[in-house]
């Protein structure tokens, strides 16, 4: 709805206001006359009409701006006149148009992805901030500056031409991947997984593959998301507690989804120089084809992480490589790397660096140090399922310590 409205409004803040007002209108109208046959179309039409009304008022006041848009007429059901298509079905194209606008090269690369997560994907600002490991106030200011830049630079709301795609595609793919990651493990709340965000990311990834069939990285991203999402049913036990990959019941994995993910992954790896999403998909594929956790080809996983580090040198990738190295060569081989990463300022608020360090120390029999590292991870973790897991780890190491752990 926001994506369709911004195309009429030409302004992100105005489009957001009109979208919110449409929901208020719906609360009144639908209570009186019932929910229309196509509520998505009703909301979109109402928001677009409000945007047009606001623009007309500005024209009347200023007597300078030409009236560039006309309202979308709707029939009694709320569907745009002259169209049999449901308004909801028209949204993917509008979402992509807004997505590519948010990823315009005039914007700072980090701002592109953050703005996309907030506006196109509906991720709350605090969760966007957690994804970027920055304070919420910093992220809110970054998003505000990016929206102002779009308005001031008069960046058009349209899908870029073929010549413009390369400089925007990486940010678009990164935003879709971060959207999926935010759903795969929710940054906050009691739920481990937000299926709505995962499904939205998968839908966008599929649409990108259709829109850009020659781009191998779009296939790599889709393969990665499918292979990761295929494990969702095994990530919680019957009591709703987090289950680590090594303890998954692999019979619960979605094997149809795995086969599809592997197909897209293989196609993405046919590029002369596979990109970061193709390599991440290959890593996910190595886990997917292993009959058991112990039978995983850990040497291959470490090698793939080496290739990934050459493409995407980051402390998070290095941490994941160290975790794989611990299973390939033992925890002692990885501990020094993780100890160094724990002191990296970029990972100061990243709980997983402490969780990985804690696990290595636990496996090495250094229970006291492991318990302290688990508590450090717990201090930085806001997801309920992950907090419960960390508390259980602390309790296993020191039965009296779990009761002292923060309970927020």
Residue where one domain finishes, among candidates 19, 42, 63:
63
pLDDT at 268 over 70: yes
With respect to residue 49, please indicate whether it lies within any of the assigned structural domains: yes
Least confident piece of the model among 65-79, 108-122, 200-214, 371-385? 65-79
With respect to residue 128, please indicate whether it lies within any of the assigned structural domains: no
With respect to residue 190, please indicate whether it lies within any of the assigned structural domains: no
Domain with 22, as residue range(s), is 1-63
The fraction of the chain above a pLDDT of 90, given in percent, is 46
- DSSP 8-state symbol, 328: H
Alpha carbons within 13 A on the beta-carbon side of 207: 21
pLDDT value of position 64: 46
pLDDT value of position 154: 76
* Mean pLDDT, rounded, for 394-401: 80
Residue where one domain finishes, among candidates 63, 80, 108:
63
pLDDT digits (tens, 9 = 90+) for 327-369: 999 999 999 999 999 999 889 889 999 999 999 999 999 999 9
pLDDT digits (tens, 9 = 90+) for 149-180: 877 777 776 667 767 777 788 888 988 998 89
pLDDT at 404 over 50: yes
Q: How many domains does the chain have?
A: 2
196 CB burial (10 A radius; 0-12, 13-18, 19+): exposed
pLDDT value of position 146: 82
Q: Rounded to the nearest 5°, which phi and psi values hold at 331?
A: -60, -30
With respect to residue 272, please indicate whether it lies within any of the assigned structural domains: no
CA-to-CA dists, residue 142 to 6, 114, 116, 118, angstroms: 20, 8, 12, 11
* Mean pLDDT, rounded, for 383-402: 86
pLDDT value of position 364: 96
Q: How confident is the model at residue 85 (pLDDT cuts 50, 70, 90)?
A: very low
Indicate left, alpha or beta for 249 from its phi (over 0: left) and psi (-120 to 50: alpha): beta
pLDDT value of position 107: 80
* Mean pLDDT, rounded, for 129-144: 80
Q: How confident is the model at residue 77 (pLDDT cuts 50, 70, 90)?
A: very low
Q: Where are the beta strands (DSSP E) in 184-287?
A: 188-189
Smallest CA-to-CA distance from 190 within 402, 404, 380, 386 is with 386
Alpha carbons within 13 A on the beta-carbon side of 384: 9
pLDDT value of position 122: 73
With respect to residue 330, please indicate whether it lies within any of the assigned structural domains: yes
pLDDT value of position 271: 84
pLDDT digits (tens, 9 = 90+) for 222-252: 999 999 999 999 999 999 999 999 999 999 9
pLDDT value of position 266: 96
pLDDT value of position 296: 96
* Mean pLDDT, rounded, for 299-318: 95
CA dist., res. 286 & res. 308, Å (int): 14
Q: Which two tokens stand for residue 62?
A: 């200023």
Q: Count CB atoms within 10 A of the CB of residue 256.
A: 10
The overall average pLDDT reported for the chain is 84
Higher pLDDT, 347 or 53: 347
DSSP 341-404: HHT-GGGTT-HHHHHHHHHHHHHTT-HHHHHHHHHHHHHH-EEHHHHHHHHHHHHHH-TTTGGG
With respect to residue 133, please indicate whether it lies within any of the assigned structural domains: no
With respect to residue 166, please indicate whether it lies within any of the assigned structural domains: no
pLDDT at 405 over 80: no
Query: CATH number of the domain that 309 lies in?
Result: 1.25.40.10
pLDDT digits (tens, 9 = 90+) for 325-337: 999 999 999 999 9
With respect to residue 334, please indicate whether it lies within any of the assigned structural domains: yes
Question: Tokens 């850990």 — which residue?
Answer: 298
For residue 74, list its beta bridge partners: 80
Least confident piece of the model among 120-124, 210-214, 251-255? 120-124
Higher pLDDT, 73 or 8: 8
Residue where one domain finishes, among candidates 63, 90, 107:
63
């Amino acid at each position: 709805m926001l994506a369709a409205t911004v195309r009429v409004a030409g302004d992100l803040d105005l489009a957001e206001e009109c979208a919110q007002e449409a929901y208020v209108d719906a609360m009144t109208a639908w209570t009186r006359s019932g929910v229309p046959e196509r509520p998505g179309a009703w909301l979109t039409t109402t928001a677009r009409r409000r945007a047009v009304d606001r623009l007309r008022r500005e024209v009347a006041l200023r007597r300078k701006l030409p009236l560039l848009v006309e309202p979308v007429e709707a029939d009694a059901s709320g569907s745009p006149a002259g169209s049999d298509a449901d308004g909801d079905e028209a949204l993917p194209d509008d979402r992509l148009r807004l997505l590519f606008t948010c990823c315009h090269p005039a914007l700072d690369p980090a701002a592109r992805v953050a703005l996309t997560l907030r506006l196109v994907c509906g991720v709350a600002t605090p969760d966007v901030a957690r994804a970027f490991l920055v304070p919420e106030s910093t992220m809110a200011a970054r998003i505000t500056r990016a929206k102002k830049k779009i308005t001031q630079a008069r960046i058009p709301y349209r899908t870029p031409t073929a010549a413009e795609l390369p400089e925007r595609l990486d940010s678009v793919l990164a935003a879709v991947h971060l959207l999926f990651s935010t759903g795969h493990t929710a940054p906050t709340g009691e739920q481990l997984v937000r299926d709505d965000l995962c499904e939205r990311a998968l839908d966008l990834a599929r649409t990108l593959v259709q829109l850009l069939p020659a781009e191998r990285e779009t296939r790599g991203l889709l393969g990665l998301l499918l292979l990761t999402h295929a494990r969702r049913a095994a990530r919680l036990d019957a009591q709703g507690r987090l289950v680590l990959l090594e303890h998954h019941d692999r019979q619960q994995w979605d094997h149809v989804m795995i086969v599809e993910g592997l197909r897209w992954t293989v196609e993405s790896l046919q590029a002369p120089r596979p990109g970061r999403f193709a390599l991440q998909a290959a890593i996910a594929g190595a886990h997917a084809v292993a009959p058991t956790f112990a039978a995983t080809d850990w040497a291959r996983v470490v090698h793939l992480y080496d290739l990934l580090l050459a493409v995407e040198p980051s402390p998070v990738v290095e941490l994941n490589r160290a975790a794989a190295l611990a299973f390939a060569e033992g925890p002692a081989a990885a501990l020094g790397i993780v100890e160094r990463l724990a002191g990296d300022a970029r990972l100061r608020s990243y709980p997983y660096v402490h969780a990985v360090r804690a696990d290595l120390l636990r496996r090495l029999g250094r229970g006291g140090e492991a318990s302290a590292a688990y508590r450090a991870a717990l201090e930085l973790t806001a997801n309920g399922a992950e907090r419960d897991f960390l508390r259980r780890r602390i309790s296993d190491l020191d039965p009296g310590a779990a009761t002292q752990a923060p309970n927020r």
